[in-house]
Amino acid sequence: GGDFNCVLEPADRSGGTSRSGGSEALAAVLDEHGLVDVWRVRHPGACGTSHISRNSSTGARLDRWYISPLVATDPATASEISISVPIRTDHLPVGLSVPAPQVVPVGPRRRHFPTHHLSQPAFIEAISAWLAAELPAVMDAPAATKVQAWAGLKGRLLSFATGLGRRLDREAWARVRAAEAAAAAAHRAFSSSLSADTTAATLLRAALQVVVQAHQARTLRATRAASVLQYQFYDTSTFVF
C-alpha cells in the first residue's frame, strides 16, 4: 500500500487530470503477483479521491492498498478513504481492515481520574462546583470518621469526574463527526467533478481544515495536561489521585 502516483481507471480521476504515467508497469506487477485493489473491490464503480492538488482543482485516488483477492473479498475486509485528518496534508489517509486470524483477549482495565481533562475550563468549573458542595461535609466530619468520609468523597468524585469526562468527550467527538460529515459531502462533490472545479476544490480544502481544527481542539487539552502531569509526577501521574 501507499502513494502510487498514478491511476489505473478513469473513475479514479477528477477534474480532468490524467495520472497515467507508470500505470502500465504497475498493472504488470499486480498481474504478476495476483494482487487486487481492495478499495475498488469493496466499491465497484464508485469515484474516489485521496489526493487534492494544491496548485489546481484536480484530484485522484493515488493512495491504495493491493492485497490478495481471497482477503479482499472477505466480508470482514474493508478499505475506506478517511476524511478524519488531524494534520494538514494534500493526501487523505486510506485505511485497511482485514479479519484477524483469532480473537485477541483483552485484559482488565483500571479506572483512573480523567487527568486529560484538567486543562479544560468546563471540566475544571464543574469539578470545582462539585467539590465546593461536597467538601464541607467531609471537613466537618468527626475525627474518627474523617478518613472514611474522605475515601467516600474520592469515590464519588471519581464517579462524577468520569461521567463528566465522558460527556465532554462525546461532545468533542460530535463536533469532529459533524466536521467530517461536511468534509465527506465536499469530498463526494469534488470527486464527481468531470472538469476542473475551483469552487469544489476550495470548499473541500476548507472543510478538511475544519476537520483538522476539530481534532486539534479535542486532543490539545489532553496533550497539555499530560505534559504538566508528566513533568510533575513522571509515570505515576494517574496514580496520584
Burial of 23 (0-12, 13-18, 19+ CB in 10 A): middle
Q: Number of H helices and number of E strands within the chain?
A: 6, 9
Q: What is the pLDDT of residue 134?
A: 93
Q: pLDDT at position 38, please?
A: 93
- Asked if residues 49 and 81 have their Cβ atoms less than 8 Å apart, the reply is yes
- The secondary structure of 86-133 as a DSSP string is SS--SB--EEEE---SSPPP---------GGGTT-HHHHHHHHHHHHH
- Write out the chain's pLDDT in tens, 241 residues: 888 888 888 888 876 666 778 888 999 999 999 999 999 999 988 888 888 877 767 788 899 999 999 888 888 898 888 877 666 777 888 889 888 765 545 444 445 677 767 777 888 899 999 999 999 998 898 888 888 998 899 889 989 998 998 898 888 889 989 999 999 999 988 888 766 678 888 888 899 888 888 887 777 655 555 555 555 554 444 443 3
Here the cell at position 86 is 488531524
* Cα distance between residue 165 and residue 241, in whole Å: 16
Question: In this predicted structure, what is the pLDDT of residue 200?
Answer: 86
Burial of 149 (0-12, 13-18, 19+ CB in 10 A): middle
Residue 41's alpha-carbon distances to 67, 71, 94, 226, 229, in angstroms, are 10, 11, 14, 42, 47
Q: Alpha-carbon distance 102 to 8, whole Å?
A: 35
State how far the Cα of 184 lies from the Cα of 181, in Å rounded to an integer.
5
Is-above-0.75 flag for pTM?
A: no
Q: What CA–CA distance (Å, rounded) separates 66 from 163?
A: 43
CA distance 44 to 50: 16
